[in-house]
Amino acid sequence: MTADGRVFAPPHPPPSTPLLQAAESVAARLREGGHVAYFAGGFARDTLLRRPIHDIDIATDARPDAVQRLFAKSRAIGKSFGVIQVEYNDHVFEVATFRRDLGYQDGRHPSEVEFTREEEDAQRRDFTVNGMFYDPTGPVIRDYVGGSADMEHRCLRAIGDPEARFSEDHLRIMRAIRFASVLEFTIEPDTWEAVRRHAVTLRAISMERIRDEWVRTLMEAPQPGAALRRFHASGILAVILPEIEAMIGVEQPPEFHPEGDVFVHTCLMLDQMVERTPTLIWSILLHDVAKPRTFAIGTDKEGRPRIQFRGHAELGAEMAATIMKRFRCSNEEIDAVVGAVLRHMRFSAVPEMRNATLRRWVGGPSFPLELELHRIDCLASHGSLDHYHQVLAFQEKLAQEPVLPTAWLSGRDLIAEGIAPGPAMGRMLKWLYDAQLEGKFQDRDSALAWLRAHRDELAGMSEETAGSTDVDKPSVAPRVNHDQG
């Protein structure tokens, strides 16, 4: 490579899109003002890899005040760092002046910057594959850091001294795992060793930033299970999620989990995802998070030893809430994931479940998440989808009617019949609604007639009897197989 870097035309120019056209117009305006303007960051990388381009950052020798004079729709979002946000044709771009960073005090941001030439700007960036500039006037790629050579070898390498790069910004070690996993690159040995040495520095980074990199990696990596293994091998997992690290080596009953330990099972589940969402990712990661704490050797019906995890769903739901609060997840995400973790073992009881119970469950707002978690759980273990298909058949049967129809009788109806509000009324309403779901009544009139004929029986129901639609028999909770996991 020459002292001026390598300049070459990309073999496949990026396809024209409204985003690219807007970015080219912004760059043209800067050039008209007498300035240099390149597309920075991942644009050159993704162009060479023929990957979709979702955002474009622009690097220029124009100072921030000059950028703002050229664009009416602009605002200083980091003027002291040379960053101006420009809006053009409904697209927003960050336009940054070429700079050199002078010292980092918080492991995240430079203490001050000095505006400089493009060659020095390239040297301050994180990885060689992200340090190339795309010059739209050629179009050509300007490579001052050897990124194109690393692209050819599918290798992720820190620019310059990896120790210095990771000391400047600790979050870069999370980005190293993300880029390597998403691009399916290897990590250059010196860069990898620096990642391992700096894993502990993540304790100084806000959990929100760690969460965003963590979730983004598992959302975008072609093999998210491999990404999770990388987080473990780097030492990052032990720092940010020791509860997942604890799954390694925790054995499971081979008749239900021939794939291996809890960590292996979790990695395989991540790779089974079809449509990814943050809540599904968290549900997979945390559905068995309590297994290390509940591991025990019990006995089966024949008295033979068997691995068991009694109560792991209940304890796991508590742990999931604590972990997700630590990561500053939203309350909506926490509620959905905690519910999925708490109920993920219920599918083993589906064959014994009353229709009313199943209808209430299927009608819940988070049931699609729970159903998909169960499907993936099965595919990454014993492989049987019997209960999954049974629930699908049940849903299909209910397709022509609301899963949870409006109750025919309300508290107002019971009051009109002379029944006083209170716990007894609540139990009666629950029984009447369950009976409606079970098809014991044809309509509101028949339900009301049955109430009038049997109000004394209903009024005398216990809490347990209210759970059964047969007032002469106590309800029997469906058995959950704690051995299956």
Of all residues in the chain, what percent carry a pLDDT higher than 90?
66
Which pLDDT does position 469 carry in this prediction?
A: 44
Q: How sure is the predictor about 250, in pLDDT bands with cuts at 50, 70 and 90?
A: very high
The least confident of 173-187, 317-331, 429-443 is 429-443
Instruction: Pick the more confident residue, 472 or 314.
Output: 314
Element (H, E) at 76: strand 74-78
**pLDDT reading at 116 higher than 80:** yes
Render pLDDT for 130-160 as a digit per residue (tens, 0 to 9). 999 999 998 999 999 999 999 999 999 999 9
Q: Looking at residues 273-280, what average pLDDT do you find?
A: 96
Residues 6 or more apart whose CB falls under 8 angstroms from that of 438 comprise 354, 355, 356, 469
Q: What is the dihedral sign for C-alpha 410, 416, 422, 425?
A: negative
Residue 98 burial class via C-beta count within 10 angstroms: exposed 0-12, middle 13-18, buried 19 and up: buried
443 vs 119, residue with greater confidence: 119
Residues 4 and 459: their CA atoms lie apart, in Å, by 89
Q: Are strands 57-60 and 37-40 parallel, antiparallel or unpaired?
A: antiparallel
d(CA 115, CA 195): 29
The residues near 376 (Cβ < 8 Å, ≥ 6 apart) are: 269, 272, 273, 284
Tokens for 435, please give them. Answer: 């009976």
Distances (CA, A) of 325 to 96, 196, 313, 338, 369: 35, 26, 18, 11, 20
Count CA atoms within 13 Å of residue 181 on its CB side: 29
More confident residue, 393 or 208: 208
Determine phi and psi for 282, rounding to 5 degrees: -65, -35
pLDDT(303) > 90:
no
Is residue 481 pLDDT above 60, yes or no? no
Residue 3 has pLDDT above 80, yes or no: no
Calculate what percentage of the chain has a pLDDT beyond 70: 90
For 263-272, b/e burial (b = at least 16 CB within 10 A) is: bbbbbbbbbb
Give per-residue pLDDT as tens, 44-99: 999 999 999 999 999 999 999 999 999 999 999 888 889 999 999 999 999 999 99
